[in-house]
Structure 1
Amino acid sequence: METAEIRRRYIEFFADRGHTVVPSASLVSPDPSLLFTVAGMVPFIPYLNGTVPPPYPRAVDSQKCIRTLDIEEVGRTPRHGTFFQMLGNWSFGDYFKRDAIKWAWELLTTAEADGGFGFDPADLWVTVFQDDDEAEAIWRDEVGLPAERIQRLGYADNYWMTGQPGPAGPDSEIFFDRGPAYGADGGPATGDDRYVEIWNLVFMQYEIANIRSKEDFDVVRELPNKNVDTGMGLERVAFLKQGVENIYEIDQIRPVIDAASRLSGKPYGADHEDDVRMRVVSDHIRSAMMLMLDGIVPSNEGRGYVLRRLLRRSVRAMRLLGVEEPTFGELFPTSRDAMAPAYPELVPEFSRIQRLASAEEETFLRTLTGGTAILDTAVQRTREAGSSTLAGDTAFLLHDTYGFPIDLTLEVAEEAGLTVDREAFDRLMAEQRSRAKADAKQRKRALADLSVYSEFRQRGETAFLGYDQLVTGSRVLGLVKDGASVPSIALGDIAEVILAETTLYPESGGQDADQGEIRGPGYLLEVLDVQRPVAGLVSHRVQVARGEVAVGDEAETVVDPLYRRGATQAHSATHLIHAALRQVLGPEAHQAGSYNRAGFMRLDFSWSSPLSPETRSEVEDIANLRVNEDLEVVTRVLPLEEARAMGAMALFGEKYGDVVRMVDIGGPWSRELCGGTHVAHSSEIGLINVVGESSVGATSRRIESLVGPEAFREFAAERALVSELGSSLRVPREQIVSRVADLAASLKAAERRIAEFERQALAQRVPALAQQASSAGRVTAVLEQVGDLASPDDLRALVTQVRDRLGAAPAVVALAATVGGRPVVIVATNAAARDAGVKAGPLAKRAAQVLGGGGGGRDDVAQGGGSDPARIGDALEAVRGELA
């Protein structure tokens, strides 16, 4: 049974039983404390915890998920994958244990010919929570599962919670027994790979608090509305139904293994380690492709770093298979062909995905070459120091800074007859992970407890009326101060105000929040920020400027009209720049993020090379031409699928409802899904002035523009500057560039002449300095202060010339100068001095210590410096002392 067919049967089964079919949410998690959607329940959290009323009583979906905590297990176990698909059926206060259990059993054991999965009941085991008599009774007495195949387990295995106060409850897991060839008898309680978990039924029936550990918490109450959250691993069911050994060999993944085998010339199934590498490639290529489909691009932080790691691990695995040339050009199309039947949106987006992947592969192959050179140097220095162990901090630097894999470092070190201080490396990695976890925990703590908004959201959505008006009357539904609901706030307080209606735009879709005020009888509130803490609810962060306000008071929201006008100009300009980029560069130049506020817009877009000045000007000209054409800006509210059918652009990673707002500027030329505020006609934008274009990663660029009056002011400032330059240079405007070029050329010629004069002057000082040579221990030494010099290079040239003049007898030259107000000392030794054991590095370091700084270098020439020029004489005497 193909994976797509398993998915279809599951969704049809529950749709026939009254479940609303919900499309998969993005892999970019809507929860700001998570990088990714790590489980099927993530998109439903607001419904499960009661923060947002569910729009349907029961639902079914197939959710895309990414987990990388077990990335080292990928390829080594039969069931660990970074990207996976979780089939789920959900009840929000509707049905509970009995229906969830019976339906799961019915779907699993119904014959394939009758629309089920056709599992033999004799192969299925079940676990329940140790105290859940009700679930065990349903399995035993109503489903008819023999008691010996029902096992009770504890909190660690069969109790679900988020780790935060809120809903929790027991769960029941269904396992498939693969048979004695795969492990010992004894059921799932053995923890053996023989028993594969395929379905988890979570029964959220309690509210918990004061969580001290997974097993130690307080049960506050039984929930009035009990929820069911189930998850069935699509890949796990697929590998069992397709009769293969692991998830990597199912129809959606195996083709990439075959491609890796073909490229490497190594048969799959012949060598365990090679098999693991091919499975890693198959998993990571698919995972990376699906991440890029949802708009994530490789980078050095956050989601982008996870994507980069997956791509680089794929390159590394192919190298270990003996393939050093690029392979993504074949691996990614293979994965696309395997996944497109389930995700047809891959096809139109694939050229962008392939370009991102190939650029990252090319970059990392160069990194491997450069990292190998750095590692070779480290190996050589380790040998020279007489050590057989490569330092752990060197391995960590290569891994953390250069992206050089630790297994490759271990391999190269082993080839050189060295070991790696793995203990030190692991300690540094653990410290890094600890910092990352602390940061994630801090981010989680920084988020307000969203439960405070639940009672407000239960009363309905905040009506946003700001598209058509700037002022509206409303009523105060709630006040939140320091994370808690309060009845009133007074003069000077900073708090959040929840209203029934508002005209103040909450920050979203790249558009900054409106500025303005909220006023009512006897009070005035200055609006500091406007946000949507939970879906459908608008919160106004305010400071009380006058009076006192209480829950239930009348209120009036007033938007600053000048700020709103500037914001609408900037947002509409963002759409024009996006459309102009796609017209000039092609459809691959897809928006990857934006920010706009009054007078300014910033757009990130998928592209891997800088825009030429001509291209940048062309984009700007096209956008301003559209402004001049006075195009009508049309907004429509319509079903999502209808908007997509009309070619509306959607922002990757953005979550859209069934009904969306579509903004047209010039018809299909610029047609995007957007909830922001816009001008009525393009001419209202006024002017767009592109002021910057830069890189934000190997595969993303950023374009920045001033808009409206801000754009004009920038042009006016440039005009004044040009006028002033023309007056100063005494040439007309059109001759300024050539005149500046002439002056620059003259300046360079003068600098060359001056540098030559200075070299001659320095050379003339050499004889006099050489005559100052005197005996110092076993060598002849020149230890002198030479005053102020332009650069350390001048001092270095002087030192080496004096050394060369002293002849073949052991000699040391240490000269000190002030460069830019700071003391510098350079020491040089000749071959005879070095043979006598006198080295420049330690002498420069000693002098630098006296100067209050640091230094060192090679045995023949070394440099030191500090911060106290008054101690130059003492530093030279310290060198003399060392020589003596």
Structure 2
Amino acid sequence: MKQFSLNELREMYLSFFESKGHLRKKSFPVVPQNDNSLLLINAGMAPLKPYFTGQEVPPSKRMTTCQKCIRTGDIENIGKTARHLTCFEMLGNFSFGDYFKEEAISWAWEFVTKVLELPEDRLFVSVYEEDQPTAKIWHDKMGVPEDHIVFMGKEDNFWEVGVTGPCGPCSEIYFDRGPEYGCDSPTCSVGCDCDRYMEFWNLVFTQFDRQEDGTYLPLPNPNIDTGMGLERLAAMMQGVSSVFDVDTFKAIRNHVCALANVKYGESDKTDMSIRVITDHIRSATFMASDGVLPSNEGRGYVMRRLIRRAVRHGKLLGIEGLFLKELVKTVVDNSKHEYTELEDKFDYIVKLLTVEEENFNKTIEQGLSILNGYIEELEAKGEKVLGGEASFKLYDTYGFPIDLTSEILEEKGLGIDEEGFKAEMEAQRKRAREARGETNYSGRDKNVYDELPNTLTTEFVGYKELEVESTIDALTTDEAIVSEATEGMAVNIISKVTPFYAESGGQMGDSGTITTANGTVEVTNTTKVVGGKFAHHGKVVAGTVKQGETATFKVNSTLRLDSARNHSATHLLQKALREVVGGHVEQAGSNVTNERLRFDYTHFEALTAEQIERVEAIVNEKVLEALDITTMETSIDEARKLGAMALFGEKYGEVVRVVDMGRYSIELCGGTHLVNTAQIGTFKIVSETGVASGVRRIEAVTGRGAIHYYQAIEKELNEVAKLTKTKKDAVAKKVEHILAESKEIQRENERIKAEMAKAEAENILDEIGEVAGFKVLVAELPAMDMNGLRNMGDTFKDKLGEGVVVLASCMDEKVSLVGMATNGAVNAGIHCGNIIKTSVAVVGGGGGGRPNMAQAGGKDVTKVKEALETAKEIINQQLNK
């Protein structure tokens, strides 16, 4: 076999099909144009879809391209195997209603046997089992022996996307690479999972239009769509076992090895990292050249993910400093001949990737260190799943995508608490503006708390005390450690002892005051920061406070009690939900403030009004029972014996805190609570909604929040009573009476409108025309909704005998269109769905329907007449075919 470089093979293919009358087009960008169905171009035919569907007229009925593609579904497999790629080039020749099977097969066979000079005895073809004409062409016209033609089922050799639309059988060409690539099975042949028989070219014969009922109708103009992976072809022609051994890939691969001072082929672990970098730098370079920018969403996230994965594997290989920019040149040098944009934008690509690498380098070392610490902890405890709080910290603080964390854990045989991560993400969005400490890095690799002594820790005594004396052991702004702060300054105070509860477990941090002999700080929030420290965030409202001063730390007891009411109520709520809804209910997240409680739980459908009422009643029953709330610290095993519920995915130490509410609810919890359920006062659910698949959310109020809620409701009731001129206890009956009167007025209004429409109908019947022997009525009616328009349509259709009715009406700045046809008109070619679909587009709407009836709505009331003229034109076309 002759050997050709990848660039030579590309040129050979494109030149060959140029000689067959194909228009040679350069690759389209990897960013789809006017195609929201794709994130990135993933196949050679993808940019040509408008030509296949007929939306656009192709510049030629025959085209050939080599399309650069990005496929994201295999990112996790990149590097693990020697054949998966994210970025690849797809050779293709296409016919838009021009030639069909015989030409496509003939040229494919000519290219592989005459141009590539592949030995015919090592070539095999697969054919769809019901496509005998294709098999006949291969055997009778091309001379392929019958034992080299393999019939396969629909799963392997029939191409279709979705339930309707263009589709058809396909035929694939295989190359026998030899027994050394086989599995030694006596049944090894085309279709075997081993590497002996390589499929390298797929010929798709798009000849059917699949209908909604599953039938396949012949397309009037069948199309040809072929695809051949250039890298796979090159591997085959160059006699190498992997795409990473192909010349252009090998150049990048060798450059990676030189930077890392390693050899390829000596270690599976090292080889994986080399392959990851080789593929990802190529992908990122091509994406950058087409304008993709790294970001946290969409295609930008794909790019960022690839860059960061490449950088991480560079670290694993021991590459120091910035290295992506070095590899960009190798990628460009090997592909610039075909993709000139790579060279044109070289400086831009290098800058873009370098900045992204620099940004990631600022955090990756610290992030990897933290993750390795988590892994060591998991392994020491014999655990297999990293908690959501830890994985979110890696994401939010150190810039680690969740899938990167998951991938590293997978390499160690560990997993990740994905639901816990999602809950943390939701909580972060809510507190983003106020977030401090560990959740406020925004890409920074350090914050001010990292500069404090690691020996400084905070002891929380707030379960029993709300006011203590302690010292101001550290005083900071958000940017720096300071020795003193004056009136008006925002500060963060850290002490060795505090009664302030720090935000955690879904419960908000305490507020209050810190007072010294010389000044006062108003604390608005308390959080846990690095190294077991509690940071009291606030503002100096009087005098001056200094580091080292003795201070009185006083919690706002009113707000603490309000938070405790809501927190204790969540425990009762969870227990009540399990009783009413089922034992599958688990806490999926919570957020407790002094104003309200929010409780996320696992469930798969909305609660009924009766269930909500029952849950609410149970909680209030337990409030009225005045159950004592006790806490104790014990071992996790003892807590389980007591029947204590633990948070899903939460990691607990040897000693846990158990909160027991009269033996009704027993949970592990570190938050602050009441001493008796009667202190809750009352409990009211204000909403129940869905937040994610399988996760519901209840929001509720207690105590003073419930009082405020009821006061607001009563205020509304008083207002309604005033408007209806009745007493509060008679409002419901009064409103019922008003609604009954309103319905009667509406019925009378409808009757009058019907009479007017009937009179109008007599006039409109004068507008009936005739097309090809069928009656046609296209008219606008005044101020009528869709229901009224349909009724009028039925009336007119009955009067036509055989024909078509299209009516339009404007009401409340909206346009309604209805089309109806008799059976005879439908049999003659009328399709109301197509008429209305095209007509409503004129008024900025969408819709359609069946051949005999269709309706749609639009917004542009100024173009109703134009829409009706369009309908007339389509009716004429359909009846005059």
**Normalized against structure 2, the TM-score is what?**
0.49
The structure whose RCO (Cα within 8 Å, separation 6+) is larger is: 1
**Normalized against structure 1, the TM-score is what?**
0.49
